[in-house]
Amino acid sequence: MKKVIVLTTILASTIFANPYTKCVACHGANGEKSALGKSKIIKDMTKAEIIESLNGYKNGTYGGALKGMMKGQVNNLSDDDINAIANQIGK
């Protein structure tokens, strides 16, 4: 049982160490995809635009067709997580 708990903890910390990991399925590994064919291509956005949009999704002031879905995706992101995503993907 200890081995399972330790392995689960290690795996979870590895997967979630990069907050962008959960974005990859829709936006692509480098932000090159239009999520569900409806979003902007985020690799073309500046770091400031990414931070502004993610914070806007969190507080409900930003978004179009995918606004509701994105609120759920970003709700638990910290300011550090948002900055890390912007630094990884933004121009």
Domains observed in the chain: 2-89 (1.10.760.10)
Residue 46 is encoded by which pair of tokens? 């500046």
Residue 43 is encoded by which pair of tokens? 């690799």
d(CA 31, CA 59): 22
d(CA 38, CA 76): 23
Q: Quick one: pLDDT at residue 41?
A: 97
Q: Quick one: pLDDT at residue 11?
A: 52
d(CA 52, CA 86): 10
Could you read off the pLDDT of 18-54 as tens digits, one per residue?
Answer: 999 999 999 999 999 999 999 999 999 999 999 999 9
Is residue 12 predicted with pLDDT exceeding 70?
no
pTM, 2 dp? 0.80
Instruction: State the amino acid at position 62 in one-letter form.
Output: Y
